[in-house]
Amino acid sequence: TFNGTWKVDRSDNYDKFMEHMGVNVVKRKLAAHDNLKIIIQQDGNKFVVKESSTFRTKDIEFTLGVAFDYSLADGTELNGSWETDGDKLVGKFSRKDNGKVLTTVRDIVGGEMVQSYSYEGVDAKRIFEKE
**Beta carbon of residue 94, minimum distance to ligand MYR (angstroms, whole number):** 11
Is 60 among the residues that bind ligand MYR (CB under 6 A)?
yes
CA distances from 75 to 22, 61, 114, 128 (A): 12, 18, 24, 23
Q: Which of 91, 95, 113, 128 binds ligand MYR (CB under 6 A)?
A: 91
CB closer to ligand MYR, 67 vs 72: 72
How many residues of this chain bind ligand MYR (CB under 6 A)? Answer: 13
Among residues 125, 103, 68, the alpha carbon closest in space to that of 59 is found at: 68
Q: Are strands 57-63 and 46-52 parallel, antiparallel or unpaired?
A: antiparallel
Q: Which of 30, 72, 90, 108 binds ligand MYR (CB under 6 A)?
A: 72
- Cβ pair 14, 124 in contact under 8 A: yes
Q: Which of 6, 8, 11, 18 binds ligand MYR (CB under 6 A)?
A: 18
Is 104 among the residues that bind ligand MYR (CB under 6 A)?
yes
In degrees and rounded to multiples of 5, residue 11 shows phi and psi of -135, 155
Q: Which of 6, 93, 95, 113 binds ligand MYR (CB under 6 A)?
A: 93
Q: Which residues pair with 60 in a beta bridge?
A: 49
Q: Which of 8, 23, 36, 113 binds ligand MYR (CB under 6 A)?
A: 23
